[in-house]
C-alpha cells in the first residue's frame, strides 16, 4: 500500500538506486501513517470527556436538573471529565518534550533508594485506602546518574498502575538490587489482575490498554508506560515486563550505575 514505489528492473547502479529510493519512500509513508494514527487516537481520547462535559452542562443550562443534589452530582461529573482532559494534555505535552530534539534532562548523581523511598512515602494514603501492603527491599549503596524529577515520575507512574490494577487487600513489592558491577534493577511487583501474555509486547505503546473500556473508566490516560519507557531510554536503560493473569505483574527497570 505504499504510495511511491519504483519497479526494479536491473541489478546495476540504477537498480540499486531504485531499491534505496523504495526503502526511503516506505519509511516516509510509515512515519506518515504513525502520525495520522496518533492524531486519530488523541482526537478520540479527547472527544469522549468533551462530550460528557458538553452534555452534563447542557442538562443544567436547560433546566433539566431539578434538585440541588442532582446539580452537584452533574458538576462533579463535569469536574471529573475536565480533570481527565487535563491529565491527558499534560501527559501529551510531557511525551512531546521527552521525545523532542533538545535533551530534556538535568542529570546528577542520585542515591537511587532515597529517591524511591521519598516517592513511596507520598503514596501512604492511597495504599491505606485500598488496604494494600507495601514491602521494600532496597540496596542503599546504588548511585545512578539521573534527573531526580523524571526518575520520580517513573516510580510514580509504575506505582500508580500497581495500585490501580490491584484489588483491595493486595500486595506490592519494590526491590532495588545490583545485577552486575555496572547495572542495577528496580522491580515493582503487584498481586493484581495481571496482563495476558499476548498483550505484553504492546505495553508502552501510546494509548495501548489491555482492557479498553475498563481501564479508560478507571481514569488512566494510556500514556503512563510510554512516558516511563522514554524517560528510561534517555537514561540509557531498558524496561521489561512479566505478568501472569490473575496473579500479578512485575515491571523491571534496568539502569547503568554511576561511576566517577
Judged by CB under 6 A, the residue of 151, 165, 174, 185 near ligand ADP is 165
Backbone angles phi, psi at 241, to 5 degrees: -130, 145
**Is 224 one of the binding residues for ligand ADP (CB under 6 A)?**
yes
* Integer Cα distance of 135 and 138 in angstroms: 10
**Is 193 one of the binding residues for ligand ADP (CB under 6 A)?**
yes
**Is 192 one of the binding residues for ligand ADP (CB under 6 A)?**
yes
Are 214 and 222 in contact, with CB atoms under 8 Å apart?
Answer: no
CA 153 and chain centroid, separation: 10
**Is 221 one of the binding residues for ligand ADP (CB under 6 A)?**
yes
* Part in contact with ligand ADP (CB under 6 A); list of ranges 75-83, 125-133, 145-153, 213-221: 213-221
Task: Scan for cell 554511576, then name that residue.
Answer: 258
* Part in contact with ligand ADP (CB under 6 A); list of ranges 16-24, 126-134, 171-179, 207-215: 207-215
CA angle 50, 94, 31 (to 5 degrees): 85
Judged by CB under 6 A, the residue of 26, 80, 107, 209 near ligand ADP is 209
Beta strands 171-180; 133-138: pairing state: parallel
- Residues 6+ positions from 229 with CB-CB distance below 8 Å: 204, 239
**Is 225 one of the binding residues for ligand ADP (CB under 6 A)?**
yes
Binding-site ranges for ligand ADP (CB under 6 A): 157, 161-162, 165, 190, 192-195, 203, 208-211, 215, 220-226, 249
Amino acid at each position: 500500500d505504499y504510495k511511491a514505489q519504483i519497479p526494479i528492473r536491473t541489478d546495476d547502479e540504477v537498480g540499486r538506486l531504485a531499491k534505496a529510493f523504495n526503502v526511503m519512500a516506505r519509511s516516509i509513508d510509515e512515519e506518515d501513517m504513525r502520525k495520522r494514527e496518533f492524531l486519530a487516537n488523541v482526537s478520540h481520547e479527547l472527544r469522549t470527556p468533551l462530550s460528557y462535559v458538553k452534555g452534563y452542562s447542557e442538562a443544567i443550562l436547560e433546566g433539566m436538573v431539578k434538585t440541588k443534589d442532582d446539580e452537584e452530582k452533574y458538576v462533579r461529573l463535569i469536574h471529573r471529565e475536565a480533570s481527565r482532559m487535563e491529565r491527558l494534555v499534560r501527559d501529551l505535552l510531557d511525551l512531546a518534550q521527552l521525545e523532542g530534539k533538545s535533551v530534556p534532562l538535568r542529570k546528577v548523581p542520585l542515591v537511587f533508594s532515597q529517591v524511591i523511598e521519598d516517592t513511596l512515602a507520598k503514596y501512604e494514603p492511597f495504599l491505606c485506602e485500598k488496604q494494600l501492603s507495601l514491602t521494600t527491599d532496597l540496596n542503599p549503596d546504588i548511585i545512578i546518574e539521573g534527573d531526580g524529577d523524571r526518575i520520580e515520575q517513573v516510580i510514580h507512574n509504575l506505582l500508580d498502575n500497581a495500585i490501580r490494577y490491584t484489588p483491595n487487600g493486595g500486595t506490592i513489592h519494590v526491590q532495588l538490587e545490583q545485577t552486575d558491577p555496572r547495572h542495577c534493577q528496580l522491580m515493582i511487583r503487584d498481586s493484581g489482575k495481571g496482563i495476558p501474555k499476548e498483550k505484553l509486547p504492546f505495553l508502552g505503546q501510546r494509548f495501548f490498554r489491555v482492557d479498553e473500556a475498563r481501564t479508560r473508566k478507571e481514569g488512566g490516560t494510556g500514556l503512563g508506560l510510554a512516558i516511563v519507557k522514554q524517560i528510561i531510554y534517555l537514561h540509557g536503560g531498558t524496561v521489561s515486563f512479566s505478568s501472569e493473569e490473575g496473579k500479578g505483574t512485575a515491571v523491571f527497570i534496568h539502569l547503568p550505575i554511576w561511576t566517577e
